[in-house]
Amino acid sequence: MSEETAAEKNALRIMVLDDEPIVCKRLKPTFEKMGHTVETFTDSVKAIARLKETSFDVVITDLKMEGADGIQVLNGAKSASSETQVIIITGFATSETAKESYSKGAVEFIAKPFKIGDIVNCVKRIEKERQEKQKTQSSIES
Amino acid sequence: MTLNLKTFLTHKFFPKGAEFEPLYHEFRGIIERNNQIFDLMADMGDKLGGEYVFDRKYISDCADSFEKLIHDQITAYCVLSGRKNQTLFRTFDKVRQAIRMEIQGQYRLPDGDAVIPLGSLGENAIELAGNKMSVLAHLRNRLLLPVPDGFVITSGGFVEFMQKNKLLKQAAAMAPDREDDGHFREAAAELQDRILNGSIPRKLSREILTQFDRLADRLQQNNLRVSLRSSAWEEDGRASFAGQYSTILNVSRKELLDGYRQIIASAYKPEAWRYRLEKGYLEHEVQMAVGCQSMVNGAISGVLHTLAPNIHQDSMVINASWGLCELVVQGNHLVDTYIVSRISPFALRQSEIVSKEIRLVPGKEGNVVEETIPAEIADIACLNPAMLTKLAQTALRIEHYYKRPQEIEWTVDSSGNLQILQVRQLQFRGRRLPPEGEFEDSLRQARTIFGGRGFAAQCGIGVGRVFKIEENDKLEDIPQNAILVSRFSSPRYGSVMHKLQGIITDAGSPTGHMAALAREYRIPTVVNTGIATSMLKQGQEITLDATQRVVYEDALYALSHFELIEEEVFEDSYEYRLLTRIGRLINQLHLTHAKDESFTPAACRTYHDIAQFIRVKAVDLFIRISEESKFKNMSIARRLASEIPLGLLVVDAGDGTDCPQVSDRIEPVQIKSLPLKALLEGLIELEMWATTPVSVNLKSFMSSFTRTFCASLASPEEIGRNLAVVMKNYMDINLRLGYHFTVMDAYLSETAEDNYINFRFFGGVTDLARRSRRALFIARVLEYFDFVVEIRGDLVTARLKKLALRRMQKRMRMLGGLIGYTRQLDASMNSDQDITCHVENFIKAIKSTIGGDNERRNSS
């Protein structure tokens, strides 16, 4: 396998959804710098429509939004592809919302404000798990 | 389990009907809220470094929390003081209103003079002077770049002028009519006409002319001519109003006021007005400041783009011609073109020298006139290599500060001096620079030296060579574009920040004073890495990504390019500006000296002032109330008799002392409260140290300390009145010694699970550097003794929990020693080296008296 295709394979497709534009503006370049492809949304209804068109490896979504809330986005992402990892970010962090998010299948629940490094580490973890999974799969196949 | 003190006090110790309890709770509440207020202020400071993602909700949550805390604080103070404190409530209301208006996006006229010299524009420059002039002020005042001297007639001046002529209301009333183009144009023409014939308030016109005369004096020009430029909010910012407003060149004193009216009127040119309305600007957001700068008789002028991806990767493009800059800006004449590398030494990659026919020069009667270029210079290049390098260097410094590609209008005067005329951002939104793949390749091949350590004090990317600085090194030796690497963070680096690409330190806090300066200069900065000085070599070329806290080997220009195309620069985001503005309303401290006459409610201007006032007064009040023994069933406050004039009053809230009811004095031996007993042992028994074999330095230091302490501060009034509320196992103590505060509460008992010490230390009157050093000293000592420590600026907070009684007592004695030792320490903290020296000395002294190393807890 050539190095470039390896890099392409490792690149994640990431959706960032938050009704506060600043969150999208700050996360997009962060993940692009890591070599990932990023689509950002400030409108949850549009984001859900986009999830019906195409699947993402990682969806990072706000919880409390006009229109559809983060849990609906989480459901939408999971029903589009069970492989999609969903990270919930919220300024209304309570143990109830955290519990609900995890029970619905969120991989991580992060309270706002958060350090960029925290969410980067979270995505790196997802990236690593994916690679290991791919490695096991290819060793089974061969 | 941490003890719930309130329940404890209420149920166990106070007989029914005691009046002490409610007052004590108010007092206790004031101290607790004060701690929360400080924590919240520090928390907001952290967010400005760029390491956090925060949104408007965070800002409004912070504002709500402050509102509640400060309101409760004043209310509690009312109960304690038995007064209404209307002045405090009024100030509170004023600050609250201002913050609410900011959060709702409503316009607030900034405080400041109507006319301000360029050199005096500081923090709130953008609100006062508009975008264009505030940028020039930053270039001049912060980056120390050559910008023609001048002054700004501020947005405040604009409002004065418009209000005097009743034009603001008229503009607001006319704005909705834009659907009907004919009518809109008519209305615009009428408004412009009224502005041109409007009368300038006498005070304003006098100030304008005074500033003009002062400028002429500074420049020693009898026949001073100036340029007048519009500088509206957001002009040249993200929205481009380029060319929509007027610029008038070569204006004399006589023409100055008319020129001012003309620039103001240009805000209501139909095109400009319509553009503004379509972009969603509200009428009250039009704040037209006007820049007035000395006219430079440019011999060579031009425009530089720091990035030109359409023309050449990794290059700057410079257009230049003879005469004034206007000709190049107009773009309707042939001019020279130079393509220069963005990387030092800025090689000339390509140039195109044309035959230049016309140049613009200042006319005798004002304005500018065209002139034929003399044949001997028409066909030659107007820029030599030295000037190209100088231009390139200057341009990249501007780009680095604003983290955006820039368009720069510049001129070179007849003596060969470069002057920056105007600067605006270039937009490359949605483009990938460098081209697809190159960036990822470059980052994949990059070798990380270290990462994930410390805190980002200011985000961003810096590329440069390591310059390691030792305490006694001269700052002037630091080369241009270096990345400063040092063991400690220090505010003294502020004086060289304009030269730096980045700062990395082993120790330091993201909310310290150096961090604040790094943010002001926007220098990518990571502090507290622990290993920077040992991992990085002098002169080594590195790339610092402060946002991600990674240091790479070599110069990764791709990474810094990437930063240039980020959709929004963090420091330019609305949220950043909002948090900064609100921070100013909350954090600035005007009441510093408790003994000053100005320490009054009327002098409070911010939440910080109110909090500071109440904290100091509440302690005084509570002491007075205790002294006057107003409490039934309560022992009165007793003055501690000790050789050290601590001015400490002790209130026994239950089994804390062993002393006759009638006495108003208490001997140290009568203190039964375990925490206070231990603390006093450390504080008072200084002789114990002097007799032990310690270093000469410390010995002499301690003896001088004891002497000064007793001689110069004999009267308790001079050191403030201090208070301890005690019980058998509990102590709550407020100490003000000199100008700094120690606040502590502790519970010490045989049950290790319940034991804790909370320690806070802040304040001081010496300069920031010394105070920061003292904070570092305290933090390092406390860490040595197992405390969990946090430093924020000069505030040190430390916690210790769940150690066995004996160990807790030893640490409490150590704290007593520390409070004494530190009392005058900031005065002697001359260098960073002193921190290590004092830490070692202090720990040695403690070890030889009350034990140290062998008592250290196995880390759990």
Q: Note the CATH number of domain B298-413.
A: 3.30.470.20
Q: In chain B, which segments carry CATH 3.30.470.20?
A: 298-413
Q: How confident is the model at residue B858 (pLDDT cuts 50, 70, 90)?
A: very low
Query: Which residues of B are less than 8 Å from A29 in CB distance?
Result: 562-563, 566-567
Arithmetic mean of pLDDT over chain B: 81
Residue B35 has pLDDT above 70, yes or no: yes
Please check whether residue B52 touches A, CB under 8 A: yes
The angle at the Cα of B431, spanning B428 to B434, to the nearest 5 degrees, equals 105
CA distance B500 to B489: 14
Q: What is the pLDDT of residues B240-251, one digit of tens each?
A: 555 667 889 999
Please check whether residue A35 touches B, CB under 8 A: yes
Q: What is the pLDDT of residues B698-731, one digit of tens each?
A: 433 333 333 333 323 333 344 457 889 888 888 9
Query: Which residues of A are less than 8 Å from B48 in CB distance?
Result: none
Compute the nearest-CA separation of A119 from chain B (Å): 10
Please check whether residue A18 touches B, CB under 8 A: yes
Nearest CA-CA partner of B726 in B664, B667, B665, B655? B655
Please check whether residue A63 touches B, CB under 8 A: no
Q: Which of B52, B55, B547 to mutate to test the interface with A (most CBs of A within 10 A)?
A: B55
Compute the nearest-CA separation of A25 from chain B (Å): 6
Q: What is the pTM of this model?
A: 0.71
Please check whether residue B566 touches A, CB under 8 A: yes
Say if the Cβ atoms of B55 and A25 lie within 8 Å.
Answer: no
Residue B161 contacts residue B201 (beta carbons within 8 Å): yes
Q: Note the CATH number of domain A3-141.
A: 3.40.50.2300
Nearest CA-CA partner of B273 in B232, B221, B236? B232
CA distance B96 to B407: 40
Query: Which residues of A are less than 8 Å from B454 in CB distance?
Result: none
Q: How confident is the model at residue B235 (pLDDT cuts 50, 70, 90)?
A: low
Say if the Cβ atoms of B568 and A33 lie within 8 Å.
Answer: no
Residue B733 burial (CB < 10 Å; 0-12/13-18/19+)? Answer: buried
Q: In chain B, which segments carry CATH 3.50.30.10?
A: 438-564
Residue B148 has pLDDT above 80, yes or no: yes
Look-up of token digits 């600085």 = B469
- Decide: helix, strand or coil at residue A99: helix
Q: What is the pLDDT of residues B447-480, one digit of tens each?
A: 999 988 888 888 889 999 999 987 667 888 889 8
Q: What is the pLDDT of residues B790-806, one digit of tens each?
A: 887 677 889 888 888 99
Of B628 and A59, more confident: A59
CA distance B565 to B433: 7
Q: How confident is the model at residue A69 (pLDDT cuts 50, 70, 90)?
A: very high
Lowest mean pLDDT among B18-22, B181-185, B194-198, B754-758: B18-22
Say if the Cβ atoms of A22 and B573 lie within 8 Å.
Answer: yes
Q: Which CATH architecture has domain B149-294?
A: 2-Layer Sandwich (3.30)
Please check whether residue A52 touches B, CB under 8 A: no
Say if the Cβ atoms of A22 and B53 lie within 8 Å.
Answer: yes
Q: What is the pLDDT of residues B268-280, one digit of tens each?
A: 888 888 777 766 6
Look-up of token digits 């999609």 = A84
Q: Note the CATH number of domain B438-564.
A: 3.50.30.10
Say if the Cβ atoms of A7 and B562 lie within 8 Å.
Answer: no
